[in-house]
A and B are shown apart, each in its own frame.
Chain A
């Protein structure tokens, strides 16, 4: 039942290679096989030096985002049978290459840190749980599903020319905390995303929305941050509960 497909895989070792190349591998593909399993096959049987990250193989750890046939996807959630007979794989863009498909995600995580990605509550942490209604919690649906895979960041055209642009994941995370009923740091958070490399740099191209494997929809999150900032400028008494 195995159908052989051709994988063209990006190869680059910055220390020794002047230029990247694409290596071609023939992989027998069983029904149900994922792109990650195909990469495993290559590493185990054809070329052990192929470098890529992997861990959970079920779309929750965020290790294996890469550019597969024209789109950023998680290799582990992508069925080979849904792709053409020839499959081209590239690393994520806007980040330095460590080797082959492994990129240096430091800038991605540094930008995440810049938005203070943790709950800032108004009251001390004591006693039982805070009350949060089901509707308040429902606002966080999908936003909290972000796995920090970086697909949005790599797909974002703005990240391509503005090194300091915070990018879709960090901004979505800022909105995740802003809209959490337990968080009491609205002004501080909005100030962090309001500068020239923050939300207003977003051109609303919907790339991040298109590629996000978890339906976090960073575009909508960024739009909400913009709305929150503008509404406060128009009406100093504005409260996020009003929306």
Chain B
């Protein structure tokens, strides 16, 4: 058994920031992560991180209040408004902190942190490091973690990488640690603590066409869900307008922020032809741009009938090399296209999970001692549509808050003791589950189920939704769940058994798919990222509320909770 004061699960931006905060409060922390910290998906974020620093000449009058308003409007009024203001206010400090820790931001002519325009924002407020912002921020936090891991004047901070969490330990309604599998030895271990911070990221691989890493399977969200932490607003899935058509690798919104055009097969900037994007054009929020692109493709005006051109040629070689070097290489590697000379083939694809584990603006959940931050959590600061550049901000702001509140909870006593016999019993249950899976000899191939799940979610829970196709997808998901009960593993050993890991995680993907579909079917309106062709209008009277899904004895139950509208009245969105 490994014991610590607090256990952090996940070592992306939110997890590492939480760990650093616990360390700052001199609280002992064990970080458990299924991949080495720098392999976490935060590393792939490109365009930047929002904060009203007012470093851009056009951003002189920017403020946290205006940033909050843009975020709330962008959310189609489903975000909790005081939580948003908290994020935009504390965000400024967090950016300066990252800079002090060595993050190599791009710079303005006078040497300040550079900012670029992003969709749905009133001012250029997206701080960036070329188009590799997530990469440099994650490495910066990892560097700080190494610094403090070695610092003897503080309590221990230990990173356990390549440990896969199979179970959250909840005793008498309080979180007490996790069970994790050492991937490289195959052994299970108890990680016992007084509190648990969850930071396992998004779940894009529930879909087929997604920009997310392979590791974003949805398992991370389901482990606490199975133990009583509800999931909120899971039907709201962001489709990023510009994913590379060939393999869905992300092409940053920064490409449009720097002046890139979206063109149909007639070489028209078609966003001008739609009421909701006529003014802001390429700088309208993601939900609107993605829908209008999809409409062009459906109307037969896609290039080769299938995709849209993102044209950067007019920006010139110098600007592309200086500001967008990463996506240029993506286009070259994966589409055989150099954006300096040719337009990039792009199409919308799954990108971000607005919903997540239900927590309040202090990252607390209804399970005592359980905190969550980052994409796996739903505070909610994104509502039904996230603005680009707000996800990185969310990770560091709420990662810090989670560390702060978990420290206070620990110092306050951290709840009741948990009997060792209880921990051992849970360990035994997990061991039995692993053995059963390893010995399973069913005929179904879990990889085939995974691919079918991706296809059915693309089809049923995509940009345009309607009851008929969603119900068909839900039926399919139920069928896949049954088939999951008949899988057989192709690999029986315990050491570095990735076949086993993918098989375990598929269960999470399947359950999450059902939560997404049922929430989407129930919500008879169009709001933010959810567009229902059978209910094309937003319906504030009936649906200004959060969906809350609970897991009880293996079934999913839906309920609803209220939205904090204390700062701004809901209005119709135009850009």
Q: Interface on A for B, CB 8 Å cutoff?
A: 13, 15, 32, 43-45, 47-63, 77, 79, 98-100, 102, 104-105, 109, 112-113, 116-119, 121, 125, 127-134, 136-137, 140-141, 144-148, 177, 180, 182-183
B499: Cβ under 8 A from any A Cβ: yes
Query: Please, which residues of chain B bring their CB within 8 A of the CB of A61?
Result: 35, 38-41, 43-44, 213
Mark B225-251 against chain A: 1 for CB-CB distance below 8 A, else 0. 000000000000000000000110110
| Complex alpha-carbon distance, A104 and B35, angstroms | 13
A113-B150 CB under 8 A given contacts A49-B490, A58-B44, A61-B39: yes
Q: How far is the CB of B246 from chain A (nearest CB, A)?
A: 5
| Complex alpha-carbon distance, A109 and B496, angstroms | 20
Query: Please, which residues of chain B bring their CB within 8 A of the CB of A15?
Result: 495
Query: Please, which residues of chain A bring their CB within 8 A of the CB of B130?
Result: 141
Name the prevailing secondary structure of the A interface residues.
loop
**A45 partner, pick from B247, B447, B492, beta carbons under 8 A:** B447
A100-B496 CB under 8 A given contacts A130-B100, A134-B111, A145-B132: yes
Q: How far is the CB of A161 from chain B (nearest CB, A)?
A: 26
B326: Cβ under 8 A from any A Cβ: yes
| Complex alpha-carbon distance, A212 and B439, angstroms | 42
| Complex alpha-carbon distance, A243 and B447, angstroms | 55
A182 touches B112 (CB 8 A): no
B107 touches A48 (CB 8 A): no
Closest to A112 in B: B146
Number of interface residues of B (CB under 8 A): 63
A180 touches B495 (CB 8 A): no
A132 touches B107 (CB 8 A): yes
Query: Please, which residues of chain B bring their CB within 8 A of the CB of A47?
Result: 490-491
A62-B39 CB under 8 A given contacts A32-B246, A113-B150, A180-B102: yes
Q: Apart from A63-B39, A117-B146, what 18 extra A-B contacts exist at CB < 8 Å?
A: A43-B498, A47-B490, A47-B491, A51-B495, A51-B496, A51-B498, A55-B214, A61-B213, A98-B184, A99-B184, A119-B100, A125-B100, A129-B99, A129-B100, A146-B139, A147-B38, A177-B102, A182-B102
Query: Please, which residues of chain B bring their CB within 8 A of the CB of A99?
Result: 184, 495-496
B497: Cβ under 8 A from any A Cβ: yes
B35 touches A55 (CB 8 A): yes
Closest to A74 in B: B333
A121-B100 CB under 8 A given contacts A129-B112, A148-B38: yes
**A118 partner, pick from B41, B53, B102, beta carbons under 8 A:** B102
| Complex alpha-carbon distance, A49 and B494, angstroms | 10
Query: Please, which residues of chain A bring their CB within 8 A of the CB of B265?
Result: none
**B147 partner, pick from A77, A98, A118, A144, beta carbons under 8 A:** A118
Interface residues of B in 86-127 (CB under 8 A from A): 95-97, 99-102, 104-113
A56-B36 CB under 8 A given contacts A99-B495, A118-B147, A182-B102: no
B111 touches A132 (CB 8 A): yes
Query: Please, which residues of chain A bring their CB within 8 A of the CB of B105?
Result: 129, 137
**A55 partner, pick from B107, B110, B215, beta carbons under 8 A:** B215
| Complex alpha-carbon distance, A47 and B326, angstroms | 34
B422: Cβ under 8 A from any A Cβ: no
Query: Please, which residues of chain A bring their CB within 8 A of the CB of B35?
Result: 53, 55, 61, 63
| Complex alpha-carbon distance, A77 and B330, angstroms | 9
Query: Please, which residues of chain A bring their CB within 8 A of the CB of B108?
Result: 134
| Complex alpha-carbon distance, A128 and B113, angstroms | 10
| Complex alpha-carbon distance, A181 and B366, angstroms | 47
Query: Please, which residues of chain B bring their CB within 8 A of the CB of A147?
Result: 38, 43, 135
B556: Cβ under 8 A from any A Cβ: no
Q: How far is the CB of B462 from chain A (nearest CB, A)?
A: 21
Query: Please, which residues of chain B bring their CB within 8 A of the CB of A146?
Result: 139
Closest to A44 in B: B447
B310: Cβ under 8 A from any A Cβ: no
A144 touches B329 (CB 8 A): no
B61: Cβ under 8 A from any A Cβ: no
6 A/B residue pairs, CB under 8 Å, sorted by A = A13-B495, A44-B445, A53-B35, A98-B495, A131-B111, A133-B107
Q: How far is the CB of B10 from chain A (nearest CB, A)?
A: 13
Closest to A16 in B: B493
Query: Please, which residues of chain B bring their CB within 8 A of the CB of A116?
Result: 147
B43 touches A180 (CB 8 A): no
**B146 partner, pick from A77, A113, A121, beta carbons under 8 A:** A113
| Complex alpha-carbon distance, A131 and B111, angstroms | 5
Q: How far is the CB of A186 from chain B (nearest CB, A)?
A: 15
Q: How far is the CB of B130 from chain A (nearest CB, A)?
A: 8
Query: Please, which residues of chain B bring their CB within 8 A of the CB of A32?
Result: 246-247, 334
B213 touches A134 (CB 8 A): no
Query: Please, which residues of chain A bring their CB within 8 A of the CB of B250?
Result: 58
| Complex alpha-carbon distance, A125 and B95, angstroms | 12
Query: Please, which residues of chain A bring their CB within 8 A of the CB of B107?
Result: 132-134, 136-137
Closest to B321 in A: A141
| Complex alpha-carbon distance, A177 and B143, angstroms | 11
Query: Please, which residues of chain B bring their CB within 8 A of the CB of A145?
Result: 132, 135
Q: How far is the CB of A46 from chain B (nearest CB, A)?
A: 9
Query: Please, which residues of chain A bring their CB within 8 A of the CB of B215?
Result: 55
Query: Please, which residues of chain A bring their CB within 8 A of the CB of B110?
Result: 131
Closest to B250 in A: A58
Query: Please, which residues of chain A bring their CB within 8 A of the CB of B495?
Result: 13, 15, 51, 98-99
Q: How far is the CB of A119 from chain B (nearest CB, A)?
A: 3
A43 touches B499 (CB 8 A): yes
Query: Please, which residues of chain B bring their CB within 8 A of the CB of A134?
Result: 107-109, 111
Q: How far is the CB of A132 from chain B (nearest CB, A)?
A: 5
| Complex alpha-carbon distance, A96 and B549, angstroms | 45
Q: How far is the CB of B498 from chain A (nearest CB, A)?
A: 6
B489: Cβ under 8 A from any A Cβ: yes
| Complex alpha-carbon distance, A141 and B499, angstroms | 39
B144: Cβ under 8 A from any A Cβ: yes
B284: Cβ under 8 A from any A Cβ: no
A130 touches B334 (CB 8 A): no
